[in-house]
Amino acid sequence: MIIDGMALLFRGYYATSYSGYIMKTSKGVPTNAIYGFVKYMQDAISTFQPSHVLCCWDMGARTFRNELYPAYKANRGEPPEELIPQFDLVKKVVESFNIPSVGIEGFEADDCIGTIAKKYSQHLKIQILTGDHDSLQLIDENIHSIIMKKGMSNYEVYTLEKLLEEKELTPAQFIDLKGLMGDASDNFPGVKGIGEKTAIKLLKEYQSISGILENLPSLSKGIRTKIETELDMLHLSRKLAEIHCEVPVEIVLEECARNIDEVKVTAMFEELEFHRLLKDKSFLGNIKVNVQPLC
């Protein structure tokens, strides 16, 4: 299981702060996002029983995509003040679980996830735990995307079959979809005037952006004009949307095997004053589940 660390941390923060109350230690250190992170992580591990686990992180706001397009993600505000000190602290918590953390400056967590998933899917079944539908472009026979939905223990697991049945698109077509329609959350436009419905229709008929461009004369005048006018942005948006799967990242697979030391986890929980988790003996029991490798 490859965990999208920021996805879980932000989900943990907003799930526990919506009422305005922020959990803090007696020393005033905010911990609500970490508490939610641990709950989500252990629920997923207990539910899906992976033999190996690692966690990938974003390593700063700027990546190679900002070099390609300076406005990339420029629409995102600063993180909440109470969340900032939890960015480093949550990695210590992950370390206490003997789960390796991975992150490379200049790349997003998705790029690390994609690189590792593609490399090790030849030998292992890969489960990507995230809330981000961008991961759907990585799916193949041995890579599944576990999308976290609202609430605990609420997952949508996408396989190739599920993806084709529900979305009627292949993983590669999800990259082209973003190239055509853009992504408002990441702040790149795609082709102005082409939305999701039109983009999907074009991809189902012509298979890919390349196929669409080869058949420009067959398109309606309005669609053809929009694409021809925004051709450079179309190619740039597709490049921004594609997860880069050749990141210079290395892991030691054996170090990712589930090998949780309850003493280390308990000490971390005591430091963070997670009294409820410390009292939850069944929760601690989940840490010690013995699982066999999936390879």
For the chain, the structural domain boundaries read 2-163+244-287, 167-241
Q: Which residues of 8-28 are buried (b: 16+ CB within 10 A; e: fewer)?
A: bbbbbbebbbeeeebbeeeee
Q: What is the pLDDT of residue 291?
A: 40
Neighbouring CB atoms inside 10 A of 248's CB total: 9
Residue 271, SS3?
A: helix
pLDDT digit string, tens, across residues 187-198: 999 999 999 999
DSSP H helices, the chain, are 5-17, 32-48, 64-68, 86-96, 109-120, 160-167, 171-181, 196-206, 209-214, 221-229, 231-241, 262-272, 275-279, 281-287
CA dist., res. 64 & res. 242, Å (int): 12
Q: What is the pLDDT of residue 281?
A: 53
CA dist., res. 242 & res. 21, Å (int): 38
pLDDT digit string, tens, across residues 132-153: 999 999 999 999 999 999 888 9
The whole-number average pLDDT for the span 163-183 is 94
The mean-pLDDT minimum among 144-148, 169-173, 210-214, 291-295 falls in 291-295
Arithmetic mean of pLDDT over the chain: 92
Q: Can you say how many angstroms the Cα of residue 279 is from the centroid of all Cα atoms in its chain?
A: 31
Check pLDDT > 50 for residue 290: no
pLDDT digit string, tens, across residues 235-288: 999 999 999 999 999 999 999 999 888 899 999 999 999 999 988 754 454 544
Q: What is the pLDDT of residue 289?
A: 42
Q: In this prediction, what percent of the chain has a pLDDT beyond 70?
A: 95
For every residue of 174-199, DSSP letters joined together read HHHHHHHH-BTTTTB--STT--HHHH
Neighbouring CB atoms inside 10 A of 150's CB total: 8
Entry pTM: 0.92
For residue 271, give the amino acid letter: E
Look up the CATH architecture of domain 2-163+244-287: 3-Layer(aba) Sandwich (3.40)
Instruction: Please answer whether residues 129 and 150 qualify as being in contact, where contact means their C-beta atoms are separated by less than 8 angstroms.
Output: no
For residue 162, give the amino acid letter: K
CA dist., res. 51 & res. 272, Å (int): 27
The mean-pLDDT minimum among 77-81, 218-222, 235-239, 285-289 falls in 285-289
Q: What is the CATH number of domain 167-241?
A: 1.10.150.20
